[in-house]
Structure 1
Amino acid sequence: MAIFDIQLPKSIAKALRLPQNSPRRQQLRVLKKLLKKSRFTQFGQKYRFDEVLMSKHPGRKFQELVPTYNYNSIYKEWWHLTLEGKPDVCWPGKIKFYALSSGTSEAASKYIPITSDLLKGNKIAMIKQLLSLRNYEDVPVKAIGKGWLMLGGSTDLQKETGYYAGDLSGITAKKTPFWFQPFYKPGKKIARQRDWNRKLEEIVAKAPEWDIGFIVGVPAWIQMCMEMIIEKYKLDNIHDMWPNLAFFVHGGVSFEPYKKGFEKLLGKPITYIETYLASEGFIAYQDRQHSKGMRLVTNEHIFFEFVPFDHKNFTADGDMVDNPEALMIHEVEEGKDYALLLSTSAGAWRYLIGDTIRFVDKERCEIVITGRTKHFLSLVGEHLSVDNMNKAIQVVSEEMNICVPEYTVVGEPEGNFFAHHWYVACDDVVNAELLGRKIDDKLKQINDDYAVERKSALRNVYLDVLQEEQFMEFMRLKGKVGGQHKFPRVLKGKMLEDWKKFLKGELV
């Protein structure tokens, strides 16, 4: 039996476009809506959006006329103009908000345009996700009307010349609708706090005053917050403080590595709901209990394309080639990895977001996130994905009855050959050599390429066990605490240099 039933007025149901339709038709409708709105912009004029709209096959024409972009290329050619205050560049009007997103590997901040149209699309997707709770069974109805603790970035945005910049979570919270404010925690005052440690301290101090039913955020930071509350008030578990806590809405990283440690903090089972909300838009959400993956938001504010994540379309460093093969939603296959291209209602066009996904149920448009185009290891052809790493960590953690909430992997030369060096966070007593051997064995089972290369050029696997606090401290030193920041699963470039300095005590 569903936990509640909602009968919506027809006008609202129509606005939310709840009835199911062909994903291909939905996506073409979204593409046309985006093109019509932006056809008089500089971008729309250069790439002949009117011609695309008049075409018999607008999807194909769009791909033919508009090149693909990554952040650096679209910023250099277009988005820098919006930061200078110029209107009608890639989307009508001036851009007044930017989400600061450094991802997990770049050193410099990225300025991702945020428009009222994008925020509107995000909100409709969020309402649809809330309504999808009708599909969940055996969860407490009363939890839905309790407080929602949303642990995100500061709503005290940076004021620049002509615009504001900050975390998308901070921009979204700042624009919280009035009807939601009584439920929203930690409230406007604490949400403005930029100092992450101060914010956590203030949340812990206020925790006894709240009756929380939902918590929303990145697993690592939510877990840290709950641990602080339990320690401060000498509790056995978080349900001693919040007995009505029933839902955890998470996203950004795979929850599996955190789950074992997370559940130690609970007094009873809760329902986990996965979301895929990036700075560029609300991409997907879990809309039914025990689903294989998250349903793509195909009918609102994002047009998706899918680039097969293979050697034809990407270099060994994870850079996309010019003119890659790009598929539309009706052309994808289950079980294959794709890099996402987005065209959005904020002026991102055929934009490589950097994530890789896999369809687990094409008919329902359900996906799982498998990693990042840059976050994989293929030094000698082992093609080791974040998805492979997560599975190995999950299985081995369960076998050894330990908790590994964080980890990262580095590729290293070893004479004329190569090695993988794992750094794992584990506060339990564990034999590092045994843990490394078990992870290596599990990867050989789930990845044939890895198994082959372990017999040839990939000569060794090393593993160091660190305290979880060391991973958190590195993120603090890098200025990546709270909000949507998460530890990269593969370290390369500047982040790898800084990590090595940190381990030597040279990064302060």
Structure 2
Amino acid sequence: MALLGNLIKKGIELNQKLSFDLKSSSQQQSEQLISLLAKAKSTSFGKFYGFDEILNSNDPIKEFQSKIPIHSYRDIHERWWHQQQSVEDITWPGKPSFFALSSGTTGKSSKRIPITEDFLQSMRDVGTSMIRELPNYDFPEELFESEILMLSSSANLSKNEKGHMEGEISGINVSNFPDWYDFFYRPGKDIASISDWDNRVAKIVEEAPNWNIGAIAGIPSWVLLLLQEVISGHNLETIHDIWPNLTVYASGGVAFETYRTDFEKICKKPLTIMDTYLASEGFFSYSTNPDSMDMRLALSHGYFYEFVPFDERGVDDFGQLIDNPLTLTIDEVETDQDYVLIISTCAGAWRYMIGDTIKFTRLDPHDIKITGRTKFFLNVVGSQLSEEKMDEALLSVSEELGVTVNEYSVAAVKNENDEYIHQWVVVSENKIDKTLFSKKLDEALKEANKNYGVARGKALTGIRVSAISKDEYFDFLDSSKKKGGQVKTPKVMGEEKMQDFLDYIS
């Protein structure tokens, strides 16, 4: 038993026992909002919307909700955030030193999200809270003296003509790591700053034998690809042949389950999977229980949350917010109900619709899982398919047919007879019987969602499946300049974009 690993583990266990909060979730969230409003009351946004008056009201939360509209990215960027690139004190005190270029899946160009010092600290604080939960997992002492491989976007940030630095959020985080992180962080800032993805992977493969990796963090598709490259580059059978202490994988960005089988194939021993909800707009939740992929919502870390029911009370048939949607606070939510997440943060996001839908799996404490994106809601002909339902159906069919499908894209398109169908493109290393897969997928979707079944009896005449290999898929991403450690590709496409995809792979 390693003395250092034992000491670190015991220290974390003691920290966990000493760290507790007797305040209710409602109290924590109320304090977060008041703190945010007080800090930003002298900004242009705070003066315009009367933060002083909100703070002095009898019910600051209700007053806040009545005075400030819910913002999309376009709303808040066009009126406020674009000024913050040049002028101080717009939506948050000071002028941000960084702007995150979103690596997400929507929009034709990257969004620019302001990243403040308070915000960077909030993300570190959530990370610390996650570390405090490690004793729940009973990890071996060896893990606590091993290194962490974080597969980020490039830490080689670019300087904007307006003076700030910009890049994807994971690259910004890495570039702001203190020097003492070098003790355990891999691949290190030098390799992380290599802009070209393939060159960065090659360098990681080269250095892999020199590292003692116990934990890995990153988006499943790119982490899996990297580990396969390490195995191939060193002629190994499993990743544990080079990193025997590898115990933990912190997933995030996309749902993990469609990757589980492929991860199991390259491991000699089981990995503990911890899920995280880390976006350009914040680090919102993290796993705390070895028996569940559900995540604990970070309630006292610089974020105030609101929740809009993802049904007729909050959205229209296309997943867009209706006028005056029902908006709930943390003490008003219930389990097993999809909600559109609305956030206010210490980066100057105010009642901002991040675009994700979540579901509470537990209320004391508040645990969640991500159920999809509002723009991944497929409802062109009334099918009302969420990302969660599509994932479930795809996983069920893959298991039944003995194949593995990690990625997919789907769109409602018109066929040769001018009738609507759902066109799927699935990514697999296995040979796919497209006719059988289409039949089974159609059946699984009907079983998973009654609205889909109704649509299939009316305007939606069928589904069509195309299958491509992972190499073809990564070539497509490369051609679209969407290749890299934090890139997520759209699961639901428009008809024109799907046609471009089909044209490329044909």
* TM-score of the two chains, using structure 1 as the length reference: 0.94
Q: Any idea what the Cα deviations from partners look like across 1:313-361, whole Å, max 9, x if unmatched?
A: 3344433234322111111111111111110000000000001111111
- Please tell me whether the aligned partners of residues 167 and 483 of structure 1 are also in contact (alpha carbons under 8 angstroms): no
Q: Any idea what the Cα deviations from partners look like across 1:262-311, whole Å, max 9, x if unmatched?
A: 11111111100000000001111111211351111011111000111124
Distance of 1:348 and 1:105 partners within structure 2: 19
- Please tell me whether the aligned partners of residues 275 and 286 of structure 2 are also in contact (alpha carbons under 8 angstroms): yes
Partner of 1:265: 266
- Please tell me whether the aligned partners of residues 307 and 340 of structure 1 are also in contact (alpha carbons under 8 angstroms): yes
Distance of 1:377 and 1:140 partners within structure 2: 44
Code of the residue aligned with 1:66 in structure 2: it is I
- Please tell me whether the aligned partners of residues 309 and 338 of structure 1 are also in contact (alpha carbons under 8 angstroms): yes
Distance of 2:420 and 2:500 partners within structure 1: 21
Distance of 1:223 and 1:147 partners within structure 2: 18
Distance of 2:31 and 2:198 partners within structure 1: 45
| Residue 102 of structure 1: how far off its partner (Å) | 4.5
Equivalent of 2:64 in 62, 65, 90: 62
- Please tell me whether the aligned partners of residues 360 and 368 of structure 1 are also in contact (alpha carbons under 8 angstroms): yes
Code of the residue aligned with 1:334 in structure 2: it is T
Aligned residues: 497
Equivalent of 1:491 in 485, 490, 493: 493
- Please tell me whether the aligned partners of residues 412 and 495 of structure 2 are also in contact (alpha carbons under 8 angstroms): no
1:252-331 equivalent positions in 2, closer than 5 A: 252-291=253-292, 293-331=294-332
Distance of 1:8 and 1:360 partners within structure 2: 26
1:29-108 equivalent positions in 2, closer than 5 A: 29-83=31-85, 85-108=86-109
| Residue 20 of structure 1: how far off its partner (Å) | 4.5
Summarize the Cα distance change of 1:357–1:470 in structure 2 as closer, same or farther, 3 Å threshold: same
Partner of 1:136: 137
- Please tell me whether the aligned partners of residues 219 and 258 of structure 1 are also in contact (alpha carbons under 8 angstroms): yes
Equivalent of 2:425 in 419, 423, 426: 423
1:353-502 equivalent positions in 2, closer than 5 A: 353-414=354-415, 415=417, 417-492=419-494, 495-502=497-504
| Residue 493 of structure 1: how far off its partner (Å) | 6.2
Code of the residue aligned with 1:401 in structure 2: it is G
Give RMSD over aligned pairs. 1.8
Code of the residue aligned with 1:152 in structure 2: it is S
| Residue 498 of structure 1: how far off its partner (Å) | 3.6
Partner of 1:159: 159
Distance of 1:126 and 1:162 partners within structure 2: 29
| Residue 244 of structure 1: how far off its partner (Å) | 0.5
Partner of 1:333: 334
Partner of 2:213: 212
Code of the residue aligned with 1:266 in structure 2: it is C
- Please tell me whether the aligned partners of residues 214 and 245 of structure 1 are also in contact (alpha carbons under 8 angstroms): yes
- Please tell me whether the aligned partners of residues 222 and 486 of structure 2 are also in contact (alpha carbons under 8 angstroms): no
Partner of 1:6: 11
Summarize the Cα distance change of 1:416–1:498 in structure 2 as closer, same or farther, 3 Å threshold: closer
Partner of 1:24: 26
Q: Any idea what the Cα deviations from partners look like across 1:464-494, whole Å, max 9, x if unmatched?
A: 1111122222222222222321121111266
Code of the residue aligned with 1:256 in structure 2: it is E
- Please tell me whether the aligned partners of residues 292 and 361 of structure 1 are also in contact (alpha carbons under 8 angstroms): no
- Please tell me whether the aligned partners of residues 273 and 293 of structure 2 are also in contact (alpha carbons under 8 angstroms): no
Q: Match of 2:391, SS?
A: helix
| Residue 234 of structure 1: how far off its partner (Å) | 0.8
Code of the residue aligned with 1:267 in structure 2: it is K
Summarize the Cα distance change of 1:493–1:52 in structure 2 as closer, same or farther, 3 Å threshold: farther
- Please tell me whether the aligned partners of residues 308 and 326 of structure 2 are also in contact (alpha carbons under 8 angstroms): yes
The percentage of aligned residue pairs carrying the same residue is 39
In structure 2, runs of 5+ residues without a counterpart are 1-5
Code of the residue aligned with 2:196 in structure 1: it is D
| Residue 32 of structure 1: how far off its partner (Å) | 0.4
- Please tell me whether the aligned partners of residues 292 and 366 of structure 1 are also in contact (alpha carbons under 8 angstroms): no
